[in-house]
Amino acid sequence: MTSIQQIELRGLLPCVFRGMEETEKIRQSEVWLRDELTLERGCRVCIQAESGGGKSSLLSFIYGNRFDYIGSILFDGQESRRLSVDDWCELRTRHLALLPQELRLFPELSVMQNLQLKNRLTDHKTEAEMLTMLEHLGIREKAQERVGLLSVGQQQRVAIVRAVCQPFDFLLLDEPVSHLDRANNLIAASIVEEEALRQGAGIVSTSVGNPLQIEGATLVSL
């Protein structure tokens, strides 16, 4: 599979919102039930919504974790529902990276073991590069500590580093800095932006009020 240049959302709506098509919430959405919303490779998009608005669902739909929606999601014109298991494995290894809101770290493993589990699939980063990112985020000294002993904010920083330890055309970040102060938000944003620029990739993040500070990001209301 070659690099993904576009992700198209056509008439998309979570099944749980079925029957709400004429409500103000859905009618005012810039995502749900749009004839076509195209995410271009290289984009910087921040999707904002209230809690329960479907932010996590949207990223799960794009990443192929869930298919409980009406409408279509297309990767360069190819319908996502028609992709094989092998296609999805390839997509998630080399084309789509996801930082889920619940982080999905392994608490019994160390910080570096969590990073290496992801990085080992493609050897995308060296150990020195991963340690440098941890240092920039102020948790270099936690590298050999079990993740379960870290604070939520420290775990979030680990998950940000893990998210960029692979090739990607689009980086999907679900409320990535909800537990970070402004200083760490800016550092996290610089790490994400630097890696996306290096790969020519798009960044799609979500926020309920504390967005990742990516300069020039397009704000989209869900």
Residue 12 corresponds to which tokens in the numbers above?
Answer: 């998309």
**pLDDT of amino acid 52:** 86
Point out which residues pair with 218 in neighbouring strands: 45
β-pairing, 202-207 with 44-48?
parallel
Contact 136, 186 (CB under 8 A): no
pLDDT at 35 over 90: yes
Task: Tally Cβ neighbours within 10 Å of residue 4.
Answer: 20
Environment class of 158 (CB within 10 Å of its CB; exposed 0-12, middle 13-18, buried 19+): buried
pLDDT at 51 over 90: no
pLDDT at 1 over 80: no
**pLDDT tens readout for residues 56-74:** 999 999 999 999 999 999 9
Task: Tally Cβ neighbours within 10 Å of residue 119.
Answer: 21
Average pLDDT rounded to a whole number, residues 105-131: 96
Question: pLDDT above 70 covers what percent of the chain?
Answer: 100
Environment class of 19 (CB within 10 Å of its CB; exposed 0-12, middle 13-18, buried 19+): exposed
Backbone angles phi and psi of 142, in degrees to 5: -95, 5
- The mean predicted confidence, pLDDT, of the chain is 95
R_g (Cα) of the chain, nearest Å:
17
Token pair 């870290």 is at which residue? 150
